[in-house]
Amino acid sequence: MDSNQGSMKSDLVVYAVILILACVQVFVLKGHLFAMLSVAVVQAILAVSFFMHLGSEKPTLRLALIPGTLFVLVMMNMIWADSYRLMSMKPFAK
Amino acid sequence: MSEANLTLAPDSHASSIAGGHAATMEAPPFAIPSKKLVMWLFIISDACTFGAMLFAYGYIKNAAADWPHPFESASIMNALLMTFILVTSSLTILVAVRAAKNANKSKAILWTFITIVLGLAFAALHLKEWMGLIGQGVRLFQNPWGSPMFGASFFAVTGLHLAHVVSGAIALFVVVMGYKRGRYNSDDLEIWSLYWHFVDLVWMFVVPMVYLMNVKAG
């Protein structure tokens, strides 16, 4: 298996950054969904790249895993328009 | 086919059989073992499952006129403590995997058990949070504050994550016991560490959507 285990020092730095970002979410950005989710995306990228070592795997593996997953998750955003419709329009025809 | 034929035909299929199955097998895709690829495929499918759950949660929340905001600062601090425990457990499993790669078996076992204990501590705090909400009257389809769907969506999202944490702790226990007995190796521990990091990653999205967007005003 690969020996892309990184160093303990880089792991500790990533660990500290993820925890600091978690505190920023709670104490600074609380209630601001888009900002909090943006921070969560940064945390997720750090975890996938450094803890799960996807950054040091072959590019073909990253290409096989990431675009498809992102496509599915982005396409799920289609539901938001309908969720707001229920709030601002008549939910049922009379 | 006789044994004589196997030795006399080095370029035939028989020679592959004589040399074991390795000669007839394809190289691992993406230069990683098949087990690791399977774990990655499971993780992306699970990411889509959690994505669908969180999108459904957001849909129900948006569509409800009286969505409850029940979480006080004690609940938020509890969620932050749970985040600290889960991220720390990701660090401890990294230490365990690194020790296993360096053939330091006792250190790998110790740090894997620390990871499992942290996972169980997370689960205990989660259950404490649940019990607090149930004590305040939250049920799957009713609560004292507003939209009756709050309980179902809250327990579904956090319950799915809690199930992942508990099953991950059980899986790590099984793998580390097998590693101790020599049945599994450091690669198996590394593969299950991917799952553990993924569970940690999902929590980073659950906290803002489920807890931080539902903080009690004032």
Is the Cβ pair A58, B88 closer than 8 Å?
no
- The CA distance from B168 to B174, in Å, is 10
- Burial of B62: CB neighbours in 10 Å, binned 0-12, 13-18, 19+: middle
Q: Phi then psi for B71, rounded to 5 degrees?
A: -85, 120
Residue of B nearest to A21 (CA): B204
What number is the ipTM of this complex?
A: 0.89
Distance to chain B for A21, nearest Cα, Å: 10
pLDDT tens per residue across all 218 residues of chain B: 444 444 444 444 444 444 566 667 777 778 889 899 999 999 999 999 999 999 999 999 988 888 999 999 999 999 999 999 999 999 999 999 999 999 999 999 999 999 999 999 999 999 999 999 999 999 999 999 999 999 999 999 999 999 999 999 999 999 999 999 999 999 999 999 999 999 999 999 999 999 999 998 86
Q: Where are the domains of chain A?
A: 8-88
Q: What is the pLDDT of residue A90?
A: 57
- The CA distance from B62 to A81, in Å, is 10
Distance to chain B for A45, nearest Cα, Å: 9
Q: Which residues on chain B are in Cβ contact (under 8 Å) with A18?
A: 87, 204
Residues A17/A44, Cβ–Cβ less than 8 Å? no
> For A51-70, what is each residue's pLDDT tens digit?
999 999 999 999 999 999 99
Helix (H, G, I), strand (E, B) or coil at A10: helix
Chains A–B, number of C-beta pairs less than 8 Å apart: 129
- Residues whose CB is less than 8 angstroms from the CB of residue A23 and which lie 6 or more positions away in sequence, other chains included: B80
Domains of chain B (ranges; CATH) run 1-29 (no CATH), 32-214 (1.20.120.80)
DSSP character for B137? T
- Residues whose CB is less than 8 angstroms from the CB of residue B132 and which lie 6 or more positions away in sequence, other chains included: B75
Taking CA atoms, B87 is separated from B65, B82, B136, B190, in Å, by 35, 9, 29, 17
Between A5 and B29, residue with greater pLDDT: B29
Is the Cβ pair A11, B91 closer than 8 Å?
yes
Residue of A nearest to B209 (CA): A33
